[in-house]
Amino acid sequence: MFRERGLPAGKNSVPFYGAAACLTVLETLAIIGQALFLARAVSALFAGSTVKESASSILLFVLGFLLRTIFAQLRRWIAERFAERKGKEMRNRLIHAYFRHGQGYIHTLGTGRLVTLAMEGTDKMKKYVEIAIPRMVSMMVTPALIVVYVYTVDKISAVLLMVTVPVIVIFMILLGKAAQKKADSQYETYRVLSNHFVDSLKGLDTLKFLGQSVRHEQKISKVSDRYRQATNKTLRIAFLSSFALDFFTSLSIAFVAVGLGFRLIDNEIALLPALTILILAPEYFSPIRQVGKEYHATLDGQAALKEMEKIIATAPAAEKGQHLHFSPESELMLEGVTVQLGETKVLKDFSFSHHGKGMIGIIGPSGSGKTTLIQTIAGFIVPQAGIIKINGTSIPSLANTDWQEQIAYIPQHPYLFPASIADNIRFYEPDASDEEVKQIIAQTGLASFIDELENGMDEQIGEGGRALSGGQEQRISLARALLSERKVILLDEPTAHLDIETEFAIKELMLSLFKNKLVFFATHRTHWIKDMDSVIDLNTQTATNC
């Protein structure tokens, strides 16, 4: 039910909605009591009673006011806590979905868009959960309780209140649809702007080197201007709807007040119930007005929540329930595997089998599917057709946690985290000891380099840290894979951007360190082929034993 209304669902959602509803009921009862005792005190004073004689009503009014404030603050507190938990949960689920989708999906949507969604989109979603949802609960509960009480006091006023609400709600729906359309357009231009900006930062050095930085600055300016225009259009609708909502609610309260005034003159109603209803009338419309005002401020959060849920729902599920253990005696087989990315079939009826350890080369021209095959083996891509077998066990894909815990992945550009060299090497094994890290450093030929550093293997690298050469980055990525002792190594053109001397130095190291593992090596450099046990040529989608 929550999902259908665009509200976040989950194991903690139902208790939150229940608690919010209960606190709203208590707050509304406090509002009714506050209005009743205030009206009673004013009526008594108007009739000539002293302040002392009306002290009990005044004290009860103050008590109602305090209880109302306490319940409102308590509801706000649980909403903030729920929004914080939901934000962390959605961000974690989103990051896991990114990994399950794989690099092809990330490249299709754009790094900037996905980063913005995970960071700012989550913050906007938290604001939506924290503000809009409690207001929506109030809109459903508070007017209903107030109109029931008013009906017991004066049926005519209750009917007037009930008749005016549908008109306001219909008007809100019409303006809300227009605002939603404008907000979606604004959010889309914002995503384009953020994507453009983040990707521009990543390629800033290249743009400057090619002399295109000024020209690209003009493109960013155009995208920014489109976002400004979309924001202004959204604000026009927001201001118009807020003004119209205030106008209609004020007009409705005026109808009730005028009706009560004429009936007071004609002695058709006493002062106490009339004054109570007049105090409650603004409270009756207050939740509707608050929802209308804050609706526009939370549209981005609602849109971000929908997009996050879409990405999470479409991510390939991690296969569980089948234990997949790979050993030097195991067999990996792909039969008739087809992978389609967008409108293009990158792999079509691809078949391959290999028994035990060994190095398997994957060759082919750019765009032939080397990365796609690597990601399929890693379990990041789920094939549209075909069967994958490990030790004779058929599975639809390798998106299996048991399998993925046995693989290590080394891309063309290994990412170095803004941490120490030792922590970067511990990527797969965070609990590894310093002695184990030092042993791996010696095996990968990093010892002489690290000995020259002031802080040794505790030297900070990555963003804001010490800059490394391409060869040093690759050696650290190799150290990561080796420290994990994982049985399957996936290499996606790891030497493509290295000079030939560095490549040959790393080549000898890789051949010696990976000789007892199953290695899939995607490359376009032919000198690796003679060192492979078998080669997959994606140009012809065939496998050959060397």
Sole residue written with tokens 């909605």: 17
Q: How confident is the model at residue 68 (pLDDT cuts 50, 70, 90)?
A: very high
pLDDT bracket for residue 2 (50, 70, 90): very low
CB 294 within 8 A of CB 131: yes
How large is the average pLDDT for residues 266-286? 88
Element (H, E) at 320: none
Q: Which CATH architecture has domain 331-545?
A: 3-Layer(aba) Sandwich (3.40)
**Highest averaged pLDDT of the listed ranges 33-42, 49-58, 306-315, 521-530:** 33-42
Residue 424 has pLDDT above 70, yes or no: yes
Instruction: Look at residue 387 and give its three-state secondary structure.
Output: strand
Structure token pair of residue 256: 């009730």
Q: CA-CA distance, 361 to 98, in Å (whole number)?
A: 27
Instruction: Lowest mean pLDDT of 94-98, 246-250, 292-296, 343-347, name the range.
Output: 292-296
Most confident of 124-138, 150-164, 330-344: 150-164
Cβ-contact 6, 302 below 8 angstroms = yes
The reported pLDDT for the residue numbered 163 is 83
Q: What is the pLDDT of residue 202?
A: 60
Paired residues of 395 in beta bridges: 388
pTM equals 0.59
The stretch 147-157 carries a mean pLDDT of 90
Helix (H, G, I), strand (E, B) or coil at 351: strand
Q: Stretch 35-46: mean pLDDT, rounded? A: 90
Fold of 13-314: ABC transporter transmembrane region fold (1.20.1560)
Query: Given a cut of 90, is residue 265 above it in pLDDT?
Result: no
pLDDT at 74: 93
Domains of the chain, residue spans? 13-314, 331-545
- Alpha-carbon distances of 270 from 34, 194, 410, 488, rounded to whole Å: 19, 62, 82, 85
DSSP 186-250: HHHHHHHHHHHHHHHHHTHHHHHHTT-HHHHHHHHHHHHHHHHHHHHHHHHHHHHHHHHHHHHHH
Which two tokens mark 10?
Answer: 């989950």
On the question of pLDDT at 161 being above 50, the answer is yes
Question: Would you state the pLDDT for residue 25?
Answer: 93
Q: What is the pLDDT of residue 63?
A: 94
